[in-house]
Structure formats: C-alpha cells, structure tokens
Structure 1
C-alpha cells in the first residue's frame, strides 16, 4: 500500500517551488521485522525551533525565493553519503524545482579515504591529511568537515566530477574553497574556467570564491607558488554552489568519529555559523558506546556540550538526534551499551528540547541487525549497512520529517 500525503492541498498559495505527491513505502510488508509504526519524530514539549523550520520550508514551497538549509552530522554511516544522500534526493525530488545544489564536498581521495558516492575525486601531487578522530586533531584547526588535507607540493591538484546516471543533476557554477590560516604563507589557488570573485578572511580560516558563466558537472583545483614565502596550503572544505533558491542538504561524516571528535574542531562553530542550517541532524553515538568499557558519563557530557554549541552558534535551530542502529561488537558480541547511549540521547533531547528519531527502535530493536544482514540490508560486520540498507534508512528518516511537517501544516491550517 502506498500512502499519499494530502498536505499540499492545504497550501493556500500558488507554488513556484512545486511539491509533488509523496509516495510512502510499504516497508513493513517487505521487511516485517521493521517497526514502522514508530517511524516518526519524537517531538519536544517546546517545539518552537522545529516549527520555525517547518514554517520556512512551507514558505519556500509557496514562494520559491529563499533557501532552506539542513546539515546532517555523523560518522562512517554518513561519510559515504548513502544514508544522508538518500534524504537529500527525496527532498529534491519531492520539492520539484527546489534543488539548490550539493554544496559541501571534500576531496576525500587526497586523504586516502572514501567519500560520497555522488562524485569522484582524482588527485595529483603529495598530500597529507588530518582527521578529527585523532587525539591531536585540535592542532590541525579543523572545521565543519572534520578533516583537512595539506600539501607542500606547489604542483598539487585535485578534480571533482559528478558521477553519471545520478537520479538528479548537481551541476554548479560557483565554488568556494576554504583553507586554514597556517603558520606559514599559503599557496595560491586557481580553478580553470572559473573567475576569482573575492577572498574572505577570518581569524581562523580563508575562503576563496570563484564563479563561472556556465554550469558544469566537474572542475579541477590547482595550487601554485608565486612567492618564495609560500610554503603550503591546507584545505578543510569545498562548496559547490548554484546561487539558486531551494533546498540545500549538507552532510559531514568521518569514519570512526564520536562526539568528542567534533569538539576537537575549533573552526566547527565559526563555519557552522556561516553555513547557517535551519535544521541540524546529529547521527552519532555508535563509536562512543562501541567499546565494552566505555565512559557513558563522558558521552553524556560531550553530547550535552555539542548540542549546546550548535544551539548557541545558530540561535536555537531545529535539531534532530538519532539513536545508534542495532549492532554487534567485533561481529560476535551484542552491544548492550547502545541502550545506555539511547537513554542518554533521550535525556539530552529533553534537556535541550530537541526532536529524536529512534533508529534503533524503528529498525526492529534487540538483535534486529541480524534480520538486516539476512535481508541484504546490512553487511557481515553487523554494524554497517549495505547501500540498500542506508537508502532504506534515508527513506524512513525523510518520511518521518515530512510526516511531522504534514502535522504542522494541518495544525496551522486548522488554526486559521
């Protein structure tokens, strides 16, 4: 059975950014171990922040003259972008004409790690990397991506190319390349086919902005030395833009990241403020509770600090905390720590009045990861998921958000 939302008939004004009927999947029939009745956002008593996000989403759908920004933060479940990429895809397909681009990307291949399935990276020259999972990462001056790459090779380069046969186009005509302010003078950066527009300098990082007259699906970024004082350059984020109004769903994840990893990023707050998402989704906790002798009090302290940082930086944005998925430790031992982590997430959500998406319960609860493995939705390590499993999670999260938005519109319409 497919459920079609009627919420768009409740919108009173003509829409420039038109919304389509939203087919909800009948996942319970295909995967009876799912608890789809619980696929919803658990809302806080004070729901003002989320309602503000829904209001802006509604306004964008009506008038199509603004951006709605979302940011999904996580670990290895997010780095490959299958989970978050599916949510992005569903938003862009549902809100027809509101695809405002991919925006936040990173040349992960230069750091010898995996990246988003949406684009390919090629690289040349010698690069070194730093990631927020390292205890000394604070000295790397990391930002919102939790990773940086540095080169002292003045002939180094990397390219970004959108993959073919994607369900959506992510062409772009604007690029911003953000670099750290190092102790030595940085190399120049150039992007063939793009004209340099400006350079913004803050206390901790520099962003170089480029623009092209044409929309493209690939580009190449070069570093160059024009001064004997220039020694290296450190890149911590790349943004591909269109300048168009619509939905921007960014994601950032680092393999092995826990909450403390993002607290090691001194530029996280400043770059988050510039990005200014109206909704932040935090999918962390798996690595925090993975070890048998983990420090649950430290996890609670770190998550409390991280949520407080985001709320202070963005002046009370909408936040959704997701619970860790069901999993085993070292393939053999069921990780009962995740129940403690789940309870902590619920406590932090209540303290900061954030929403919750309870993935652990939705996927089936206790030892449901075994059902996901046998159904081809999770891999044999019993902690990570297949592409299909991540796509399913993305569908479920998107539908939980849209259902809450539908309830908001119905309530708002009835109050008129």
Structure 2
C-alpha cells in the first residue's frame, strides 16, 4: 500500500466509538449526532471531486504545488472558528502544508466582529459598506465588504494572534483595492520590501523576511481629489501547500453576494480549486422561503464561480437546524437541504449534509443543552463550531482515503496479471 494511503488510513483509524465512524481527531461522542450519516455526497458524479483529489494526492506525495480553498458564507464564517478549524486541519494534513492565512479584512471599521486569529488596527477616517446593507450602494469585491477613505493619511496594521495553532507569519501581501483617481500611494516599511507590483486591481508586496505584524500606510496626493477603497487583503508564506480563504459577512444571503460587482474577477485571482458554499441560513430565515427563488439566486452565483474558476470543485454545506425568532422550529432547513442536493446534481457539486449529521429537525435544542449552540438557536458556540469543522473535515478525508484505496487497489490488480506472466515457465523449446 502506498505510503500516502497508509498514512491517511492510520489517521482515520486512530480513534473509534461504539457507533461513530473512526475520526481523525478526538471528537466527544454525543448520542444525538448522526455519526453514521457523516459522509460526502456527489449526486452529479465524481468528475470534479476526482480532479481535486488527484491534485491533493500529488501535493501530499511530492510536497509541491498549491491548492486554494475559498469558504464563503454568513456569520458562521465571519466568526472564523468553523473556517479557521478547517484551515488548520487542511494545512496539518501531511506535515506542514501551511501556505498562509489567506483573506483578511479590517472588520472593526464596519463596527463588526473580527474573525478569530488576527485583527487589524486602523486610523484615519473610513466608511464601510457591506453587501447586506440594502440602503447603501458602492462597489464590492469577493469579500462582500469594503472600506473607503478620503483622509490625507490612513494606516492599517495587521496583527496575528499568538494563540494560532500554526505559524501564519508571512512574506507576501496582496491588497485588493480601487483608486480610480490614482491619488493614493500605498507603502509598507521600505526596509522590508523585496519587490512590489501594482495593477489597477491589486498591489503585491514581497518582503525580505517573515513578519507577524505589518503596518500599511496610505498617503493621499494633496493635489488630487478622490477616495481609496479597500476590498480586502491576503497574506501568504509559502509557494507550495494549501491556502484557505475564509469569507463571511454577518447576515449575508445569496442575493447579498450577487451585489458584489467584482466577485467573479477577484475570485478568479484567488485561483480556487474548491469553493465551499455555506450560504443559506439567512435565505431560509422567515415564513416565506421559496425553494425556486433560492435555487434561481444560487444559479446566478454559481455562474459567477464557474466563470472565475471553471474547474473548481463546488461543495454545499446544508443549513444547520435552527429556530425562527427563538420560538419556532425552522422547517425551512429541510427545504434548503433538498434544494442543495438538487443543485449538487445539476452542477456536479458536492454536499456535506450538516442538517442531518447534527441530528435533523429540532436537534439544535440538544446542541444548546450541551453548550454547543447559543441561546438564539441559530449560532454555535466556539466549541460547537470546532466540532462542526472536524465532522466536515473527517467526512471529506474519509472519502479521499476510500478513493485512494480503491484507486491503488485497481492499479495493483491491473499489475497482477503481468507479474503472473513473468513467473510462468518459458514455453521456448531448447531441445535438439
């Protein structure tokens, strides 16, 4: 058995429970979680997942290559615990596969929560715009949020949390921006710069050392009018490995991301191999949820994703079970689940069925009683988000391991007749 298959098999077999499947990490057993249903689904066929897994196998075998994952959603993702745990698990898969943190934004400018793992200080006068703010207008990128300044001088300082499991110090920085008047210069400490490149859409800085904090200075040309708009930043530390971009806006539903004019353009620049879509909980919050409208909106978003990355694997995560107004069981979760399975078949995408795995309808009450969900019966606690991430990641990796075993078993069987032929006595007549 090839070493990569053996290594994953040993990881997957390292823990066991009475009914639960074997898990990569210690996951506390709860009798309401459907461990037996924790699996990936590909109702439209395996063409896209096979392409992703082949590239992942090559990366794990040779240590060379880059894989980019983009995880998009609402408050579940903005908080950073769910997606942050997924980032850590993917980047620890086979030793050090940490290519960097990925997407960042100074959420404090918008008076909203920063994801766990980093924060960005700022000064200067800024105004923000989020894709959920229907009374505002402006340009938005793939991150669904922007910050605009007209200050003569403004600063942003990236600070990585020391509590991060992995080292996310970086030597590459990309800033996505818009500055139509071309009246701002963007700089970092000149002693750190090895190379810088500027386009109309982003600025790249290559540093001559790895840093865990960095000040970015915006300086306005006093002779020119105009504003500078920031759409987000990405930090990188290695050419090879896995980059995991976490993109979330509190309250975002599918139409909110359809408001992002530069969504497809900036997503293309991230070169995603997989796009995980966790958008749906806010679409289904209400009594007038329409599956046809939900699927129509998603069709537009998927068209943008396919325009940006035609060969990327798309994976839906179904909604978690939830309550409406903290009082009523939200039966729309089942409808979203049905919609996502239909769309997965249509678009040859994957589905991780969080709704069923967590226990199905009204299971959120049990998650809350066990301190895994908050009192609003919509959001999870940090422990709950980490558990959700480990369940998802394990389902993904179990499918990967199963396919690797099948693939290499077929290769061994194909080679077997050739070995048998070589072991047979020669029929050549060496007589008189």
**TM-score using structure 2 length:** 0.88
Q: 1:181 to 1:378 in 2, by over 3 A?
A: same
Partner residue of 1:337 out of 310, 332, 338? 332
Q: Which residue of 1 aligns with 2:288?
A: 293
Matched, 1:308 2:307: no
- What CA distance in whole angstroms lies between the structure 1 residues aligned with 2:400 and 2:25? 20
Q: 1:187 to 1:301 in 2, by over 3 A?
A: same
Q: Name stretches of at least 5 consecutive residues in structure 1 with no aligned partner.
A: 1-5
Matched, 1:394 2:389: yes
Aligned residues of 1:19 and 1:61 also touching (Cα < 8 A): no
* Alpha-carbon shift at residue 334 of structure 1 (Å): 1.1
Q: Which residue of 2 aligns with 1:3?
A: none
Deviation string for 1:8-29 (max 9, x for gaps)? 4537xxx9xx998355268786
Superposed, 1:236-385 pairs within 5 Å as 236-385=231-380
Matched, 1:178 2:168: no
Matched, 1:158 2:156: yes
- What CA distance in whole angstroms lies between the structure 1 residues aligned with 2:329 and 2:199? 49
Partner SS for 1:228:
coil
Q: Name stretches of at least 5 consecutive residues in structure 2 with no aligned partner.
A: 15-22, 412-432
Q: 1:211 to 1:189 in 2, by over 3 A?
A: same
- What CA distance in whole angstroms lies between the structure 1 residues aligned with 2:350 and 2:115? 27
- What CA distance in whole angstroms lies between the structure 1 residues aligned with 2:225 and 2:94? 46
Q: Which residue of 2 aligns with 1:63?
A: 62
- What CA distance in whole angstroms lies between the structure 2 residues aligned with 1:409 and 1:111? 45
Partner residue of 2:142 out of 132, 144, 147? 144
Partner SS for 1:415:
helix
Aligned residues of 1:187 and 1:226 also touching (Cα < 8 A): yes
Q: Which residue of 1 aligns with 2:406?
A: 411
State the aligned residue count.
400
* Alpha-carbon shift at residue 120 of structure 1 (Å): 1.9
- What CA distance in whole angstroms lies between the structure 2 residues aligned with 1:19 and 1:223? 50
Aligned residues of 1:20 and 1:94 also touching (Cα < 8 A): no
Matched, 1:191 2:169: no
Aligned residues of 1:199 and 1:208 also touching (Cα < 8 A): yes
Matched, 1:213 2:208: yes
- What CA distance in whole angstroms lies between the structure 2 residues aligned with 1:9 and 1:252? 31
Which consecutive aligned stretches of 4+ in structure 1 deviate over 4 angstroms post-superposition?
Answer: 6-9, 25-29
RMSD over aligned CA atoms reads 2.1
* Alpha-carbon shift at residue 264 of structure 1 (Å): 0.9
**TM-score using structure 1 length:** 0.91
- What CA distance in whole angstroms lies between the structure 1 residues aligned with 2:26 and 2:334? 25
* Alpha-carbon shift at residue 257 of structure 1 (Å): 0.3
- What CA distance in whole angstroms lies between the structure 1 residues aligned with 2:390 and 2:143? 24
Aligned residues of 2:183 and 2:226 also touching (Cα < 8 A): yes
Partner SS for 2:266:
helix
Partner SS for 2:71:
strand
Partner SS for 1:94:
coil
Aligned residues of 2:118 and 2:158 also touching (Cα < 8 A): yes
Deviation string for 1:50-88 (max 9, x for gaps)? 110000000001111210111111000000110011011
* Alpha-carbon shift at residue 350 of structure 1 (Å): 1.2
Q: Which residue of 2 aligns with 1:36?
A: 35
Q: 1:173 to 1:28 in 2, by over 3 A?
A: closer
Q: Which residue of 2 aligns with 1:52?
A: 51
